[in-house]
Structure 1
Amino acid sequence: MKLLECRLSVDDLDAFVSRLGEIGDGHGVTVQAFDTRYVADRRHLERAVELADRSIERGENVARDRAVEILLYAAGRRQIDRALEMGVGEGENRAAILIDAEPGRDDGNDDREAAALEEVAELEAVASRESTLPESDEETLCDFFEVTDAERAATDAPLSALVRERVALLEVEK
């Protein structure tokens, strides 16, 4: 899995998402863009990919598209409409664009991911490449993932671990 951390300026969301899909198809990878306000850390997205792939392998996936299934797991939700809140929108966005080769294909996965990453990075919507994940907004994460003050007070686990727990709990809630 590769991540392009960047600032986006999206004029036409549908066209942007469509272009990401075209790049993914062209390189045989999955491409999904996330608003980093809703991403706890890199491990959060890695875990979402692992669980989405397992769900697809077992035939238990909700979405037909792997990118959407990854988004569902990252959001810890089974409702696509609610999970879409975690995606980027029109206008300015701090983003992490995930690029991941589909499992079971070992024919140059790293090369295909790297080539797709570079093509995504060259899109006009990518205003700048910069670190965006360390800027997570704790209040936004707590609201989105429904992590309460009482829950945080009851553990010394970092917020990122609680978010990853929500991702993993999606498996149990099916």
Structure 2
Amino acid sequence: MELFECTLAIDDLDAFVADIGAIGDRHGVTIQAFDADYIADRAHLERARDLADRAIDRGENVARDRAVEILLYAAGRRQIDRALEMGVDEGETRAVVLVDGSTGNEGVHEGNGSDSTADNDRERQGERAALEALTALEAVGDCEPTLESRDEVTLCAFFEITEAEREATDADLGDLVRERVALLEVEK
């Protein structure tokens, strides 16, 4: 999984979504763009991806599209409309774009590991090619770190994390957000 941090200036959201979908299809990767204000850290997206893949493998997914299933887990919600709040929108947005070449079928390749190594190499090549294509999109502005500074107010409001909850634990905000993501699995 690769994360592409940038500023997006989107004039037409439908066209942007179609563009990143076409890039994903062309390179055999899943691409999902997020408003960086709603992402706690890299581990937040890794956990969402892993849980989405597990749901898909078990046939328990809500969305037909892997990118949307990852979005649902990242949001800690089963309602697509509510989860879309953390996606990008028209206008300028500090964004983080997830690019993942894995299929989510962990443990499928057994034996000597050579098939698995070849698959991993193909996945990485697809991710790199997709990242290069993403940088060429008209909507992509500055490539800059967007996850270094968190919008704690937005995260707490979106994930319904209260001040009392934060004071009652030694866990940091990222831990609490990842807990919400994991709870989605329990609440199904």
8 A Cα contact 2:48 2:71, kept in partner: yes
Residue 168 of structure 1: aligned partner = 182
TM-score of the superposed pair, with normalisation by structure 1 = 0.98
Q: Which runs of structure 2 are paired with 1:79-158 in the superposition (5 Å)? A: 79-101=79-101, 102-104=103-105, 106=119, 108-158=122-172
User: SS where residue 162 of structure 1 aligns?
Assistant: helix
Residue 19 of structure 2: aligned partner = 19
TM-score of the superposed pair, with normalisation by structure 2 = 0.91
Matched, 1:56 2:70: no
8 A Cα contact 1:7 1:129, kept in partner: yes
8 A Cα contact 1:36 1:135, kept in partner: no
8 A Cα contact 2:54 2:104, kept in partner: no
- Tell me the CA shift for residue 121 of structure 1: 1.2
Stretches of 4+ moved more than 4 A in 1?
none
- Tell me the CA shift for residue 156 of structure 1: 1.1
Residue 66 of structure 1: aligned partner = 66
- Structure 2 gap ranges (5+): 106-115
Q: 1:42 is matched by which residue type in structure 2?
A: R
CA distance in 1, matches of 2:176, 2:66: 24
Query: Which protein shows a greater Rg?
Result: 2
CA distance in 2, matches of 1:162, 1:116: 31
User: SS where residue 133 of structure 1 aligns?
Assistant: coil
Which is richer in strand? Answer: 1
Partner deviation per Cα, 1:56-77 (whole Å, 9 max, x = no partner): 0000000000000000000000
Q: 1:92 is matched by which residue type in structure 2?
A: E
Q: 2:4 is matched by which residue type in structure 1?
A: L
- Structure 1 gap ranges (5+): none
Partner deviation per Cα, 1:127-170 (whole Å, 9 max, x = no partner): 11000011210010000000011100100110000000000000
